[in-house]
Amino acid sequence: MKYYSTNGKAPVADLRKAVVKGLAEDRGLYMPERIPALPQSFFERIQELSFTEIACTVANAFFGEDVPPEVLNRIVGETLAFDCPVVPVTDRIFSLELFHGPTLAFKDVGARFMARLLAFFTKDSGEALNVLVATSGDTGSAVANGFLGVPGIHVYVLYPKGKVSPIQESQFTTLGGNITAVEVAGSFDDCQTLVKNAFMDAELNDALHLTSANSINVARFLPQSFYFFNAYARLKALGRADRLVVCVPSGNFGNLCSALFAKRMGLPVSRFIAANNRNDVFYQYLQTGEYVPKPSIQTLANAMDVGDPSNFARIYDLYEKDWGRIRADISGAVVTDDEILATISACYKSNDYVLDPHGACGFKAISDGLRPEETGVFCETAHPAKFLSTVEKAIGSPVAIPDRLAAFLKGEKQTVPLSGSYSEFKRLLLQSAT
């Protein structure tokens, strides 16, 4: 499989280059030259297959030409050492729980897959690899823990100071070893800009081997399609998969993008809802046809605090820049902080189900937008305990902290403060080359 840049001005790449480089030379995102359709027979019996069997089939369609089957199956098996169950919340709305991995967030799937695929591609190079990742919350912890201790790889996690939850912060600032946490005085968009500028810096790239573990990397976002296929299979087993609507809380739009790819591969989803918090750039695009990035706004659903989502470029390219086609498949919703709190409270009282702030955006959007004949599934992207004060305030009850999270809180914070200037960040990276 070959991969091209969304900006159309870089040479096509093979999978190894797309994964190891992360970003194309023209600052575009890599896209596969084709999206393979899965056979109808697969969907006819999908409810009989395990999560791992489903994921191996999907992974082989994308990566089978470039990775030996025994290696790919091992990577998938190691990635999915936990379940992503579908849980009923109301009689027509189901939660796709994506928080059962090591860091209790949906990004564990993509991060674990990417770490293993990257290790496969670089194991014989003998060259140190530096992974740069910007995070607005859960990406940093998932990537840091996915790459922790991997020989020959050093991870730099850039995060906005004071704008991630204390538990999220503890998950990537207490690890040490080959993980460096960089605390940036700015927003997530500032962190993401630093990472992108580093990839475009010829001097820096001559000195260091750089790659990204954000959802701009094809090995991060494509594997996230696995759990959308699994959600369909589990709902089909219940006889509830007809007229399926999928709602995705959206920040950098990698998760929604992977769901859209799943539909192109044949997954029977009627339509999608992109749930935004007050960072509503994509919602406004759906209304007007004009994409206008703007500075991000801090909200209770902090992982969605993105004012210029990178993966919009992939969605735009996927639909051949056709606003009407995008609107036909995707509708949008905006959920305020007050609505997040009210939704967490109401869902707990009415359904005895505890939402995290991001899942609350998804549940609110699909509750408001679901038609009578449809079945809805929304992504519950992180464990509620990661947002303890917000959730406990909303439900008026304590939330138990899982042992895995409690262990992180006992660690010692280790960070490198950064003003936000690129020159300062560049100096930090070059120190590792000496």
User: In this structure, are residues 72 and 56 in contact, taking their beta carbons and an 8 Å threshold?
Assistant: yes
User: In this structure, are residues 199 and 214 in contact, taking their beta carbons and an 8 Å threshold?
Assistant: no
The arithmetic mean of pLDDT across residues 270-299, rounded, is 96
Alpha carbon 298 to chain centroid, angstroms = 19
Alpha carbon 404 to chain centroid, angstroms = 21
Per-residue pLDDT at 433: 60
pLDDT tens per residue across span 154-165 = 999 999 999 888
Read off the pTM: 0.90
Looking at every residue in the chain, the average pLDDT score rounds to 93
Q: CA geometry: angle at 372 spanning 366 and 377, to 5°?
A: 35
According to DSSP, the residues that pair with 32 across neighbouring strands are 3
d(CA 341, CA 325): 33
Q: CA geometry: angle at 138 spanning 135 and 140, to 5°?
A: 50
Sign (positive or negative) of CA dihedral 282, 288, 289, 295 = negative
Encoding tokens for residue 202?
């010829």
Q: Is 413 left (phi over 0), alpha (psi -120 to 50) or beta?
A: beta
Q: CB burial class (10 A; 0-12, 13-18, 19+) of residue 202?
A: exposed
User: Phi/psi of residue 292, each to 5°?
Assistant: -130, 95
The arithmetic mean of pLDDT across residues 307-323, rounded, is 96
pLDDT tens per residue across span 227-242 = 999 999 999 999 999 9
Per-residue pLDDT at 430: 92
Which residues contact residue 407 at a Cβ distance below 8 angstroms, ignoring those fewer than 6 apart? none
Read off the pLDDT band of 38 (50, 70, 90).
very high
pLDDT tens per residue across span 325-355 = 999 999 999 999 999 999 999 999 999 999 9
pLDDT tens per residue across span 122-144 = 887 767 889 999 987 778 888 89
Q: What is the per-residue DSSP string for 323-362?
A: HHHHHHHEEEEE--HHHHHHHHHHHHHHH--PPPHHHHHH
Per-residue pLDDT at 282: 97
Domain 83-104+224-400 has CATH 3.40.50.2300: no
Per-residue pLDDT at 127: 73
Residue 74: CB atoms within 10 A of its CB come to 14
Read off the pLDDT band of 3 (50, 70, 90).
very high
H or E, element range at 400: none
d(CA 188, CA 67): 33
Decide: helix, strand or coil at residue 104: coil
Decide: helix, strand or coil at residue 313: helix
The arithmetic mean of pLDDT across residues 358-376, rounded, is 97
> Could you tell me where the beta strands, DSSP code E, fall in 320-364?
330-334
d(CA 247, CA 371): 13
Read off the pLDDT band of 186 (50, 70, 90).
very high
pLDDT of 166 > 90? The answer is no
pLDDT of 434 > 60? The answer is no
